[in-house]
């Protein structure tokens, strides 16, 4: 997690821009250009998405340390969408940003190993040659399958200086249905998963005191953020739910200790700032940057 | 689930071939041809995977009702791998097979909606035009996020005559770490998820008595298979862990009632039958078919 934390410290900005581009977020002039080039096809949709992302990245890369592409938005356009994701990740990396792929992946043994290679390491070609498929820095993970899912990730994170974020308490309303259920031990399920995160991370704690095993906790649950910050001192939090979903800077402040300990995500508020502010479509990237700076100031002011 | 069950009944075969193609499973002559065409590249790896899959599908499509591609094996080769998956699904559909995409996807709201569109419905292009990205029949899902994850899937399954399989009790050893934990109500977590599956499925029960909301239960846990078959009478089971992972026909028999109620997956045993039997690489598809028939007879003999 050190590489991410260093970028956060350098920019004094514990926030990440979620790249969840839906076509409705993208200005018409970009969509028209893609359609003129490739017709009304998935290739054109993916082209528009990449051009949109590229300009967002260019506009925020000197003030925001990380981006978080949401896999579903790219899988929506099949192999063309995945091509747009590859190019987006590559562009973000060139601009020095830390890339957290939000895929919530989960599987076991050799299958999880394949996800590790795809997102955090290298995929094997013929004759033992290798190449990096996505080349991202971090992956979100669902731990319902237990250590068999997490162990291959721990190994890969160690080898390749990467990190993961495990779903603990998600920002949605129905997260309570499973995550808040009480075990006979008195803990809730998400508390138990939190303890497992500390355990999984205990041998890979970096110089800031946080391990490579982070956790996802929603901004919409400030009480949990506060408790978990105390209970899980080595677990760095990725916080969705700020902004459009209702989470406030006062809420996410509970996830921090001495100014560190978490990174707060915002997607729609930043990508759609140009729509909300009713400004020229051509200004979408400028508006995204202004919103990202506003978000940074908002969060920092409450720490 | 009716479309799947009809195919199972017609072929008297409650099994599914897992398409988890690793390069080591693929005969050298296929890999060489791909490498001659496209060099040592991800495009070549994906090409070899598709050609391998195509021949497996051709060899089993008249005796096996379904295939289950494992997403990780395709994501391993980025957009090229996803292209191979698209072509594999399309080929399997042309051959009349039911396609269960094993992606264990999970997310909320509009994000889950995007996964639904990608795998079970149609993706939106420009000007409200639509296209089918993957066109599969079913998707495996992780329910840790609760109803917010499942509701968009239920809606899409109803609209498009599709199904889902929710992770209940997975076949791996460490599935106990979270799934077997006891709640204060006395149930284990996987039992609770099973009850939720019955509840989610209650308004979409088909003519065979099973809902569109299936569940994944490992062949390696026969006690759970037996209990869950009784406790969750409307939930159709997808059973991994038969064969290479140690599950036997006697074990999976517990998941059935009156010859129905489950579909059993085998991947490695079928894809690698040619290696295990030490036969000519050119015979890999014939060997896969023979192993698929052997598996069918084995399962049927114990029902």
* Cross-strand partners of B99: B67
Nearest chain A Cα to B169, which residue? A145
Nearest chain A Cα to B33, which residue? A126
**What CATH number does residue A86 fall under?**
3.20.20.70
**Chain A residues touching B175 at Cβ < 8 A:** 145-146, 148
Q: Which of A112, A119, A133 sits opposite B77 (nearest CB)?
A: A133
For the four alpha carbons of B147, B152, B156 and B159, in that order, the dihedral sign comes to positive
Distance from CA of B258 to the nearest CA of A (A): 31
List all residues 6 or more positions away from B102 whose beta carbon is below 8 Å from its beta carbon. B18, B68, B69, B70, B71, B140
Distance from CA of B225 to the nearest CA of A (A): 17
Q: Please state the rounded mean pLDDT for residues A288-298.
A: 98
List all residues 6 or more positions away from A24 whose beta carbon is below 8 Å from its beta carbon. none
Is A225 among the domain residues?
no
Which domain does A108 fall in, by range? 2-158+240-302
List all residues 6 or more positions away from A217 whose beta carbon is below 8 Å from its beta carbon. A168, A169, A224, A225, A228, A237, A238, A239, A255
Contact A146 B175 (CB under 8 A): yes
pLDDT at A243: 85
Kindly report the pTM of this predicted structure.
0.98
Q: Percentage of chain A with pLDDT > 90?
A: 98
Q: Tokens in use for B74?
A: 């395709």
Q: Please state the rounded mean pLDDT for residues A125-146.
A: 97
DSSP three-state, residue B132: coil
**Chain B residues touching A143 at Cβ < 8 A:** 178
Q: Which of B284, B245, B269 is nearest to B53 (CA)?
A: B284
Query: What is chain B's pLDDT, residue by residue, as a tens digit (303 residues)?
Result: 999 999 999 999 999 999 999 999 999 999 999 999 999 999 999 999 999 999 999 999 999 999 999 999 999 999 999 999 999 999 999 999 999 999 999 999 999 999 999 999 999 999 999 999 999 999 999 999 999 999 999 999 999 999 999 999 999 999 999 999 999 999 999 999 999 999 999 999 999 999 999 999 999 999 999 999 999 999 999 999 998 788 999 999 999 999 999 999 999 999 999 999 889 999 999 999 999 999 999 999 999
Q: Find where tokens 């050799």 sit.
A: A110
Distance from CA of A117 to the nearest CA of B (A): 7
| Pairwise CA distance, residues B297 & B303, whole Å | 10
Q: Which of B83, B126, B144 sits opposite A178 (nearest CB)?
A: B144
List all residues 6 or more positions away from B69 whose beta carbon is below 8 Å from its beta carbon. B18, B19, B20, B53, B85, B88, B89, B99, B100, B101, B102
**Chain B residues touching A119 at Cβ < 8 A:** 75
Distance from CA of B121 to the nearest CA of A (A): 10
Q: Tell how many helices (H) and how many strands (E) occur in chain A.
A: 14, 10
**Chain B residues touching A145 at Cβ < 8 A:** 167, 170, 172, 174-175, 178-179
Q: Across chain A, what does the average pLDDT equal?
A: 97
Is A28 among the domain residues?
yes
Contact B175 A148 (CB under 8 A): yes
pLDDT at A244 over 90: no
pLDDT at A104 over 90: yes
Provide the domain count of chain A.
Answer: 1
Nearest chain B Cα to A111, which residue? B72
Nearest chain B Cα to A268, which residue? B110
pLDDT at B243: 86
| Pairwise CA distance, residues A186 & B201, whole Å | 30
Is A227 among the domain residues?
no
| Residue B160 φ/ψ, nearest 5 degrees | -110, 10
Q: Are A241 and A220 in contact (CB under 8 A)?
A: yes
Contact B182 A183 (CB under 8 A): yes
Q: Are B251 and B225 in contact (CB under 8 A)?
A: yes
Q: Which of B42, B129, B184 sits opposite A131 (nearest CB)?
A: B42
In chain A, the N- to C-terminal Cα span, in Å, equals: 20
Going by pLDDT thresholds of 50, 70 and 90, the confidence category of residue A278 is confident
List all residues 6 or more positions away from A17 whose beta carbon is below 8 Å from its beta carbon. A56, A60, A64, A66, A67, A68, A265, A266, A267, A270, A271, A288, A292
Q: How far is CA A67 from CA A56, A92, A248, B173, in A?
A: 10, 8, 20, 35
């Amino acid at each position: 997690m050190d590489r991410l934390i260093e970028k956060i410290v350098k920019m004094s900005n514990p926030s990440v821009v979620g790249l969840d581009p839906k076509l409705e977020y993208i200005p018409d002039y970009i969509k028209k250009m893609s359609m003129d080039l490739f017709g009304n096809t998935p290739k054109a949709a993916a082209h528009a998405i990449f051009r949109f992302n590229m300009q967002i990245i260019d506009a925020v890369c000197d003030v925001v340390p990380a981006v978080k592409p949401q896999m579903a938005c790219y899988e929506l356009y099949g192999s063309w969408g995945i091509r747009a994701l590859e190019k987006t990740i590559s562009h973000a990396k060139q601009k020095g940003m830390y890339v957290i792929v939000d895929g919530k992946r989960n599987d076991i043994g050799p299958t999880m190993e394949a996800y590790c290679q795809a997102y955090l390491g290298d995929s094997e070609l013929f004759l033992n040659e290798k190449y990096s498929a996505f080349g991202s820095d971090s992956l979100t993970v669902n731990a319902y399958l237990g250590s068999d899912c997490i162990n291959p990730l721990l190994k890969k994170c160690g080898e390749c200086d990467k990190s993961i974020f495990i779903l603990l308490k998600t920002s949605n309303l129905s997260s309570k249905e499973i995550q808040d259920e009480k075990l006979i031990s008195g803990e809730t399920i998400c508390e138990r998963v939190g303890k497992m995160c500390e355990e999984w991370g205990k041998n890979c704690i970096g110089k800031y005191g946080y391990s490579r095993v982070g956790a996802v906790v929603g901004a919409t649950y400030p009480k949990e953020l506060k408790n978990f910050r105390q209970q899980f001192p080595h677990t760095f939090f990725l916080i969705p739910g700020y902004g459009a979903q209702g989470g406030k800077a006062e809420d996410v402040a509970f996830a921090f200790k001495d100014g560190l300990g978490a990174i707060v995500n915002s997607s729609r508020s930043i990508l759609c700032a140009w729509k909300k502010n009713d400004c020229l479509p051509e200004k979408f990237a400028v508006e995204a940057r202004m919103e990202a700076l506003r978000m940074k100031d908002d969060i920092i002011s409450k720490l």
